[in-house]
Amino acid sequence: MSLAAVVEAAKAYFSEGMNPAHDWHHVERVDANADRLRSEYQAVDDFVVRASVYLHDIGREREDTGEITDHAEWGARESETILREHGVAAERVSAISHAIRAHRFSRGPEPESLEAKILSDADNLDALGAVGIARCFTQGGDRGSPIHDPDLPPKADETEAGATQYNHFYKKLLDLPARMYTQTGREIAEDRREFMKRFLTRFDEEIAGDR
């Protein structure tokens, strides 16, 4: 199975009207991140990395609409079917399936292979920096959560992911650099985290009427 065939198969799971935080453009950005990360390694299976990138969110829209509960687990199983039907070797099918299962921030196994670690880092990088800011507010708006609630600061917010879009930065996004597995991933993540922190400082100043 060629990578072009993987792309064609994966795209069928993405609709034009789905949440733009996880649309096909997200997949393309993750692919660009993964390309940057895998360049520091020689012993990496390029097909496994790229196929897992293309297929990692094929269940995302189904989760967002309530059809399934875990897009990573569903996507891993669905990917196995796709890959086997196209004659991909069993060891690669297993490696891609593991990477997809392990890419999710909030649940799933820890990534064990280098390819799975690259996918995890590449996906998390898209949740940081300028793009991460845009995705946070896009996702929050789609779910109907408030942008900010001055009566609910992050420290008083007992929810896991943050009850407001602002709190989500402190509940998840600013912690992502600590979850990086590759050296390049950590360096990029720290840079993007600093950009987010500057944005949040300006946000606080505007909320207070100081800017």
Q: What is the pLDDT of residues 102-158, one digit of tens each?
A: 998 777 789 999 999 999 999 999 999 999 999 999 998 888 899 999 999 999 999
- Superfamily designation of domain 1-111: Hypothetical protein af1432 (1.10.3210.10)
pLDDT at 89: 96
Which residue type is seen at 2?
A: S
pTM of the model: 0.94
Q: Among residues 26, 10, 12, 18, which one has the least CA distance to residue 124?
A: 26
Distance from C-alpha of 65 to C-alpha of 19, rounded to nearest angstrom: 10
Q: 17 falls in which pLDDT band (50, 70, 90)?
A: confident
Distance from C-alpha of 122 to C-alpha of 129, rounded to nearest angstrom: 13
Give SS3 for 53. Answer: helix
pLDDT (tens digit, 9 = 90+) per residue, 151-207? 999 999 999 999 999 999 999 999 999 999 999 999 999 999 999 999 999 999 999
16 or 169, which is more confident? 169
Distance from C-alpha of 93 to C-alpha of 84, rounded to nearest angstrom: 7
Domain ranges of the chain: 1-111, 127-211
- What's the CATH number for 127-211? 1.20.58.1910
Q: Taking the CA of residue 84 as centre, how many other CA atoms within 13 Å lie in the half-sphere pointing to its CB?
A: 10
pLDDT at 46: 95
Distance from C-alpha of 186 to C-alpha of 189, rounded to nearest angstrom: 5
Q: 40 falls in which pLDDT band (50, 70, 90)?
A: confident
